[in-house]
Structure 1
């Protein structure tokens, strides 16, 4: 972990952990409150969203960096490779929502606050954490294929689960409405987006590390 600003870093990750867990917890409360299925099925559906899984990953990262920075998990989340992978994932969450999904609904009240926290605040906040605090000299192009395993695994899981449940968390991977051909095309496009953003982070990391 970059020790150039240790005090500021601890405050930054503490704030990120609190905001992250509040956003995820409130979203769980709201989805249960407004459920159209049983509570168990609603909870299963809640944890099928890439947004939720990735925001939990961000919150876990900040929590271990805040409370257990010297532990094995703290060191794992502090590594440039792990931090950059998480940055890629949460930035994609923000980009996909704001470019593709935002126009599909208009949340109000508390739901709007939570929605912005999950899809806008946390992506920007974690990107800032990466930019300011993460050491970047050890980032390598070879890291990128490993980072793609999480989104690829997620797509496979959702398609298998959807085959049995008929439930898909996002319209662009809804086989029941689009068919497998279109969903596969969309999945390839998403994977390419992950690849491009990953390469951009590595490239930016190399440029920034040379300027330090």
Structure 2
């Protein structure tokens, strides 16, 4: 298989650019509202979309660089790459099915919005399909990967308890109460599990098909 590190590198650059653009837009908005630049950074780091696109950009950077250093080896692991694929797919599904209609971005925000919620999920899934080895994927990993969205849920509740701000309407404790938010979070967590299981099933099928494929053409040794 030819190296796909140039594709990973180009997609990583796109991901980092999208993240930088969204950070600039967030800071620009809070400065215009008189809240200051740090408020923009604080709000920026509240979103699962941002944190997951950071994870995806790091996974792509590791794939492009190769196994150079502990961090690159960790993010290049097939299970970490697949967990990132699970998370960015859920980002795309939740945003495009539930949240897109709730606001109307303008100007550069449209660009950042579609890069983070459409382009990066699609490109990372393509990278995962073409370049990530899948022989080591196992069913129990689908449940281990839920530590990330579960940790994010706790993080959101802790932040919301301090400043009263919740990044997504289905996690808004102030409007819905803790019980309803917990039910919503469990429903989203179920979506994470389903996507994870689907990725593992696809990955194992791809690995079996690759193992069964002939390694030489007829008539060749």
Taking structure 1 as the reference length, what is the TM-score of the superposition?
A: 0.94
* Stretch moving more, 188-197 or 40-49: 40-49
Q: Which runs of 5+ in 2 are unaligned?
A: 211-221
- The match for 2:10 among 15, 29, 50 is 15
Query: Which of 172, 194, 197 is equivalent to 2:195?
Result: 197
1:1-29 per-residue CA deviation (whole Å, 9 max, x = no partner) reads xxx221xx111111111100100000000
Which ranges in structure 1 are unaligned for 5 or more consecutive residues? Answer: none
Quote the residue 2:24 is aligned against.
29
What is the number of equivalent residue pairs in this alignment? 207
Inter-partner Cα distance in structure 2 for 1:49 and 1:13: 24
Write the deviation string for residues 146-186 of structure 1: whole angstroms up to 9, x where unpaired. Answer: 10000000001111221121011111100011111211110
Pick 1 or 2: higher relative contact order, CA cutoff 8 A, min separation 6: 1
8 Å CA contact 2:153, 2:185 repeated in 1: yes
* 1:107 paired to 2:89: no
Counterpart-to-counterpart distance in 2, 1:11 and 1:136: 20
Identify the match of residue 177 of structure 1 among 175, 178, 183: 175
1:144 aligned partner: 142
Q: Distance in 2 between matches of 1:130 and 1:67?
A: 16
Matches within 5 A, 1:33-182: 33-35=28-30, 36=33, 37-67=35-65, 69-182=67-180
Q: CA deviation at 1:68?
A: 5.0
CA-to-aligned-CA distance 1:61-118 (integer Å, 9 cap, x gap): 2222223543222222221111100000111111110000000111122110110000
Q: Which residue does the alignment assign to 2:215?
A: none
What's the counterpart of residue 213 of structure 2? none
Deviations 1:39-76 (A, max 9, x none): 22221111010000011111112222223543222222
TM-score by length of 2: 0.90
> Would the aligned equivalents of 2:66 and 2:76 in 1 still touch at CA under 8 Å?
no
Q: How large is the RMSD of aligned CA atoms in angstroms?
A: 1.2
Tell which structure's C-alpha radius of gyration is larger. 2
Per-residue CA distance 1:120-157 (angstroms, 9 max, x = gap) = 00001100001001111110011112100000000011
In 1: Cα distance, 2:113 partner to 2:92 partner: 11
